[in-house]
Structure 1
Amino acid sequence: MHNGRQGIQRQDQLAGATHEYRTPIAEGWKRLVYTGANSLDKQFMNKLKPMEKVDVGYPVNLMQLLLNYYDWFDASLQNILAASGETAFSKAQSAVFVNLAEGRNTAVDIARHLGVSKQAVNKTVNELVERGLLTLVVDAEDKRSKRILPTRAGLEKGRQAAKALHELESELARRIGKERATALREILECSPGAVFQPS
């Protein structure tokens, strides 16, 4: 397993996509390069610049460590989809599907949970509607609101992603050890409760 002083570098070339990054855990900076990604991703990535490591006087925090694992799972999932000839998802698109799986099916609910604007969520949802993976249905209880629902194709994509993520958990267990992987899952299944509010 990589420790906080090593960092992680990886470069995958599948279906014309290149991912290269270092975790903020070790270097204090993160660089992502996407070749063959959609234009919006490329515009965003072109603005990213490395920054010098800043010593804040505390050890690497859990938020950074959890984000590191999220990045590993997300990048690995995109590689699996690309290798099977499927169109990859942006992080924003993946986040929409994750929220749908957790029962949030309106743009307002998803935006509130992610801490982004409703307009940003609607833009991502519309991209997935154009791909035939989502559909919008008027809420029977509130005609001003629309429910975001997966189509049959969207459900199939969800099953493919779930299968791939299950396989990635097995791969993670192989890398860090089954006991550690099991303990990690058990810990993360413990709810942290409501969002902290300073008194």
Structure 2
Amino acid sequence: MRSPYLIVSLLQGFYWFDSGLQSYLRARNLPTLTHSQSMVMINLTTGTTRPADVARNLGISRQAVHVTLLQMQKLGMVEFRADPTDKRSKIVVLTEMGEPMRRHAQAAVTAMTERLAERIGKTQVANLLAAFSTDWGDEVDFESESANRNPG
């Protein structure tokens, strides 16, 4: 059933992609990832290696990202290293086990995008990418807006 709410469609789209990613990994006898691990892996795939930046991209706490990264480290997918540009910080790098998973994750996302284009059309996929790549501006802060309208 279609929902009139964009957020529902966004979540359904995320789960559609994530489910396809998991299926792709299982078909190749690779370990599957949790939703959190999938999102971290996508960030690592796109070159985001600082945990604080991953957290900001995902809109979650640094602590939540750290917990996920520690799980991934325990599984042998990632390791922490000193950030060469800031010795006080750590970066996350893929291990020998994690690197093939990254390549498979990239291939899966590409295959899922192609499959989506077959189903809804290349123009629709291009429009989705354009809409979601556009800067939406700062987060909406209804509390501040309300306080500004109703002082005192």
AA aligned opposite 2:72: L
* 8 Å CA contact 2:21, 2:109 repeated in 1: yes
* Aligned residue type for 2:42: V
Q: Counterpart in 1 of 2:50?
A: 106
Larger displacement relative to structure 2 (172-181 or 85-94): 172-181
Among 136, 147, 168, the residue aligned to 2:80:
136
> Deviations along 1:59-112, whole A, 9 cap, x unmatched?
x22222111111100011101111111110000101112222444323333334
Which residue is equivalent to 2:26?
A: 82
Within the candidate set 106, 120, 130, 1:186 is matched to 130
Letter in 2 for 1:160: H
Q: Which residue of 2 aligns with 1:174?
A: 118
3-state SS of 1:111 partner: helix
Distance 1:127 1:143, change over 3 A: same
Map 1:1-199 to 2 at 5 A.
4=2, 25=3, 60-197=4-141, 199=145
Report which structure shows greater RCO (CA 8 Å, sep ≥6).
2
Q: Deviation per CA, 1:141-195: give whole Å up to 9, x if none.
A: 5444211112243222111111111111121122223332232223223232333
Question: Percent sequence identity over matched residues?
Answer: 32
In the alignment, the residues of structure 2 paired with residue 82 and residue 137 of structure 1 have an alpha-carbon distance, to the nearest angstrom, of 30
Alpha-carbon distance in structure 1 between the residues aligned to 2:61 and 2:127: 35
8 Å Cα contact 2:20-2:108 kept in structure 1: no
Query: Is the Cα contact below 8 Å between 2:42 and 2:105 reproduced in 1?
Result: no
Report SS of the residue matched to 1:193: coil
Does the residue aligned with 1:145 lie in a helix, a strand or coil?
Answer: strand
2:12 counterpart letter in structure 1? N
Q: Unpaired runs of 5+ in structure 2?
A: 146-152
Q: Which runs of 4+ in 1 moved over 6 A?
A: none
Secondary structure of residue in 2 paired with 1:156 = helix
| Distance change (3 Å), C-alpha of 1:141 and 1:83 | closer
Aligned equivalents of 2:58 and 2:129: distance in 1? 22
- Provide TM-score, normalisation by structure 2: 0.78
1:102, 1:161 → 2: CA distance? 11
Across the aligned residues of Structure 1 and Structure 2, the Cα RMSD in angstroms comes to: 2.3
Aligned residues: 143
TM-score of the superposed pair, with normalisation by structure 1: 0.62
Gaps of 5+ in 1: 5-24, 26-59
